[in-house]
């Protein structure tokens, strides 16, 4: 059994992702930095501009890590060696979610301007759709489209690479969807932080909802079955199986869990804004 591992990180750990180098990469939203954490717990911090406020991070198609900088309207890129660059977005964009698309580019949400944007690995930025509704997190779906949450309009959007847009309201009004992830069961799962529910959309089927108290925030696919969900309001981590079975794990009190990711060994990691990341025991 792999033991639990706690790594202290000042600066408000927020989003995290498994990198191509086998490490976990973490955004430090409060201090404006990116951290690299090895699977054994060694941490290296790479400072950005203090006002950057990095939020969501993802492994890019070019072997680097890409992240949103919600504090200064930029998209950031950092190599596994720690070299960082940034690309400007229009004023008032407020980027938040980001994912690698099926076309070899990065796709991101702009919460304030209500847009879905695309940036090539060379830094060329284009707006692909104006959707409104405070688009939040985004993921590449099993159908080759981009799926995203619309926090203010309680809806889930689907945008093809060619620009076809579909928006579906959640069954629960004012649900406040935030996190979203595609899974191996040909479905897209998302969190509803205001409704305290977890949603699931099988391709071309009706939206399903599961009660999940604790203000669910981020969601990540479990390689075996189901998903992992951070419960921001109750300082817990939940595992929800494909059959709907729910297991909750208590985290340190008032730790504010945000991002969740699974590394190449199948271990689950959680970013806690109170000041550390956890690798859960397996």
Q: Residues 36, 197, 217, 258: which is the catalytic one?
A: 258
* 249 has a pLDDT exceeding 70: yes
End-to-end alpha carbon distance in the chain:
6
Largest Cα–Cα separation, the chain: 49
Nearest Cα residue to 261 out of 39, 3, 17, 6: 17
Q: For 14-23, what is each residue's pLDDT tens digit?
A: 999 999 999 9
Helix, strand and coil content of the chain, in percent to the nearest 5, comes to 0, 50, 50
Decide: pTM greater than 0.95: yes
What the block records as the tokens of 223 is 């390689």
**Is position 184 annotated as part of the catalytic site?**
no
Please name each of the domains of the chain with its CATH number. Answer: 5-279 (2.130.10.10)
For 18, residues 6+ apart whose C-beta sits below 8 A from its C-beta are: 24, 25, 59, 261, 262, 263, 264, 269
Q: For 123-174, what is each residue's pLDDT tens digit?
A: 999 999 999 999 999 999 999 999 999 999 999 999 999 999 999 999 999 9
CA 202, CA 196: separation in Å to the nearest integer? 20
Nearest Cα residue to 175 out of 141, 133, 145: 133
């Amino acid at each position: 059994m792999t033991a639990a591992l706690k790594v202290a990180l000042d600066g408000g750990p927020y989003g995290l992702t498994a990198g191509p180098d086998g490490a976990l990469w973490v955004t430090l939203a409060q201090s404006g930095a990116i951290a690299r954490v090895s699977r054994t717990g060694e941490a290296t911090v790479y400072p950005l501009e203090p006002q950057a406020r990095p939020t969501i991070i993802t492994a890019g198609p070019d072997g680097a890590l890409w992240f949103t900088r919600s504090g200064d309207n930029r998209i950031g890129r950092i190599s596994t060696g720690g070299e960082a660059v940034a690309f400007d977005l229009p004023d008032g964009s407020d980027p938040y979610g980001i994912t690698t698309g099926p076309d070899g580019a990065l796709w991101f949400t702009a919460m304030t301007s209500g847009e879905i944007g695309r940036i090539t690995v060379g830094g060329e930025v284009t707006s692909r759709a104006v959707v409104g509704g405070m688009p939040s997190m985004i993921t590449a779906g099993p159908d080759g489209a981009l799926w995203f949450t619309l926090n203010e309009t309680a809806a889930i959007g689907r945008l093809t690479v060619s620009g076809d847009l579909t928006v579906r309201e959640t069954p629960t009004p004012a649900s406040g969807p935030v996190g979203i992830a595609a899974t191996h069961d040909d479905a897209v799962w998302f969190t509803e932080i205001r409704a305290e529910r977890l949603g699931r959309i099988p391709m071309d089927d009706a939206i399903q909802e599961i009660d999940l108290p604790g203000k669910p925030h981020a969601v990540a696919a479990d390689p075996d079955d189901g998903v992992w969900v951070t419960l921001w309001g109750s300082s817990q981590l939940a595992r929800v199986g494909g059959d709907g079975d729910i297991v909750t794990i208590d985290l340190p009190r008032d730790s504010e869990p945000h991002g969740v990711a699974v590394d190449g060994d199948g271990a689950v990691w959680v970013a806690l804004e109170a000041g550390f990341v956890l690798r859960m025991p397996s």
